[in-house]
Structure formats: C-alpha cells, structure tokens
Amino acid sequence: MSAQPRDHFSVCWSIYVGWMPWGYGASEGIVKKWADKYDITIDVVQINDYVESINQYTAGQYDACAMTNMDALTIPAAGGIDSTALIIGDFSNGNDGVVLQEQTDLKAIKGQNVNLVELSVSHYLLARALDSVGMTERDVRVINTSDADLVSAYASGNVTSVVTWNPLLSEIETMPDSHKVFDSSEIPGEIIDLMVVNTDVLKANPDFAKALVGAWYEIMGTMSGDDAGAKTARTAMGEASGTDLAGYEAQLASTRMFYEPAQAVAFTESEDLKTTMQYVAEFSFRHGLLGEGAPGPEFIGVETPTGVYGNSANIQLRFDPSFMQMAADGEL
C-alpha cells in the first residue's frame, strides 16, 4: 500500500450496532461533505463478512476498517501491519453475553459444552467470565459454532450453553428456561469498537484522518438525542441492519456509545486501556493468535497514551486520541 500523500481513500465496515453510522454517513453525504472539505475522496464500503473485511484491510485493499480492539491486535497487528485506532466509537456494555439453559448461576457452566464462535470476542468474554468465578477454559469444552447457526443450535435442545452477541443474544434470551448469567457490562470497556487506519497512510495523509473524525462526530451529533432528525437517523440505521427503530435502540442501550469526542478521548487516556490490552494479549497468546513466532503475550507492542504494553521495539497497534481531541477542541 502506498504511504505517499494522495487524495483517494477507502474505508470498509460491517453490520454491527456501533458501525451502522458509517453506512448512514455515506448514504446521507456526510462523509463526502467532510472529504470535500479536505479536497479528498473517501469510498465507504460495506462488507457482509466481518472477519473478511479485516482480512482485506490487512491485505492493503482498504486504508481503514471498523473492528474491535481484540481483532485489531490479532489480525492486522499480528500480521505486521502497523495500525492506529483513530476513533474509539463505543464499547460493549451488555451486547455480548453467556446464556445457560435451566441454570441461573454462572458456576453451573463447569463441565458443559459451550457453543460460540471460536477465537472471537465471545471466546474472550467466556474466558473473562470463567476467571470471575475462579475457573479456566479447562473447566468447559468450547464447541466452535458459526454465528449463523447459534440460534438454531440452541433451539434444538441439544445445546445447554452459548456465548454470543446481539441481536442473537436477545433472541436466545427469550427462549424458555434461558438465563443470561454473565455479560460484557461486567467487564466494561474491554470489548471496544474502533475505526482502525493504516499507520503509514495516516502519517502521510493527516487530512484523511481529519475528514473521517469530522464526519463521525457530525453523525454522532445527528443520531443522538430525541428530536425527529435523530430518530430518523436511528430508524435508517436500524432498518439497514435488519431491524427497526425499537430493535436498534435496544442494541444501543447495551452499547456505551461515545457521542462526544471528549468522552472518547478520556476513555483512551485512561490507565484502564493498557490493562485491557494486556488481558486481550494474554488471551490471544494462549490461543496462538499473535503469530507462530510469538514467544509471549508481550510480543506485539500496543501504544496507549499512558504507555506501551508489550514490546516497544515492535509496536504494531496504536491508540491515538489526537484527532478526536481536535474534534473536541473544534479544530477540524
């Protein structure tokens, strides 16, 4: 990928409550308006397969991509693509959860088969849930199950434990004798949704970052609140994701959206972010997600405003609040 100054860029995203604003911003011309301000062009492309979108970004087919903090570490960063978390959009605050059949206590999961998308944030959530009650993954058996099959597998009666995300989670919760025993609100701030940009592209083209951040916070301003315009925006986002206004607002209720740039900056500058990335790196290393040559969880350096977790000579993931701070200061 060329890291020279240029005027044409591409961004990809996939369907998720916290990323629907990108599709809305593209269709309503908000992204174009901000790109025009900086005399550049930004193509915003929806990709239906989430992991495939990250793979394409990692392969250099896109300059930026919407992804979680864990996937940013284990796919592009682990693949040697230096990436920067430009926008901290939100964190899951109940959107991911553990459901047991007929049991109301998480400890009852011991010895069970647990159906989930292996090596996903669901798998990470399970590890953190087990840790909270003094157990490890050795106490259960993980059954890799596609997100497309989870609801039907659970409904079959042969599955007693699942870990998944909304809207699948809420659908499973409504089934008879189903009990959510742990969710992401119990590990707040650990499953983070980002807009990640290739660091070399960012350094050579700061106007690209300014346009993305400016567009994002205009969209945030449009969709937040109770006025008619905000409801129209949220309705459009809900319908684009296969639900309606009520369904989308239910997903937003279990998502901690950072509608104001200052909120996102404060989150990024907290000491907690570095600790979270340590948890994520340790989980990822245990599961071989940091690459075959990784000798330990600190193999990849993760730069945060409070310091580097891992190898400072191998920084491949950076959390940079400077452009969000410009938005907060009205400097875009």
CATH of the domain at 60: 3.40.190.10
Model confidence, pTM:
0.92
Residue 2 maps to a domain: no
Mean of pLDDT values over 124-133: 97
Q: What pLDDT does 175 receive?
A: 95
Q: What pLDDT does 150 receive?
A: 93
Domain shared by 62 and 195, yes or no: yes
For residue 161, the enclosing domain spans 96-186
Q: What pLDDT does 291 receive?
A: 86
Residue 85 maps to a domain: yes
Residue 260 maps to a domain: yes
- Count structural domains, the chain: 2
Residues 99-108 as b/e (b if ≥16 CB within 10 A, e otherwise) read: bbbebeebeb
Domain shared by 180 and 128, yes or no: yes
User: Which two structure tokens, joined as six digits, stand for 243?
Assistant: 């639900």
Choice among 58-62, 225-229, 255-259, 288-292 with the minimum mean pLDDT: 288-292
Residue 1 maps to a domain: no
Residue 274 dihedral angles phi and psi, to the nearest 5°: -65, -40
Distance set, CA 279 to CA 96, 202, 217, 275 (Å): 17, 27, 29, 6
List the 113-116 sheet strands across, edge first: 141-144, 113-116, 161-165, 96-101, 178-183
Q: What does the longest C-alpha to C-alpha distance in the chain come to? A: 59
Q: Which of 184, 186, 195 shows the shortest CA–CA distance to 268? A: 195
What is the C-alpha to C-alpha distance for residues 330 and 314, in angstroms, rounded to an integer? 34
Choosing from 157, 186, 215, the residue where a domain stops is 186
CA atoms within 13 A on the CB side of 9: 31
- DSSP-assigned letters across all residues of 217-278: HHHHHHHSSSSHHHHHHHHHHHHHTTS-HHHHHHHHHTEEE--SHHHHHHHHTSHHHHHHHH
Tens digit of each residue's pLDDT (9 = 90 or more) over 166-206: 888 988 999 999 999 999 999 999 999 999 999 999 999 99
Q: What pLDDT does 125 receive?
A: 97
Residue 180 maps to a domain: yes
Tens digit of each residue's pLDDT (9 = 90 or more) over 286-317: 999 998 889 999 999 999 999 999 999 999 99
Q: Which helix (H) or strand (E) holds 123?
A: helix 121-132
What is the C-alpha to C-alpha distance for residues 83 and 103, in angstroms, rounded to an integer? 42
Domain shared by 137 and 236, yes or no: no
CB 9 within 8 A of CB 208: yes
Residue 295 maps to a domain: yes
User: Which two structure tokens, joined as six digits, stand for 171?
Assistant: 């659908």
CB 215 within 8 A of CB 90: no
* pLDDT band for position 102 (cuts 50, 70, 90): very high
Mean of pLDDT values over 248-266: 96
Domain shared by 207 and 280, yes or no: yes
Domain shared by 22 and 147, yes or no: no
User: Which two structure tokens, joined as six digits, stand for 206?
Assistant: 């700061």
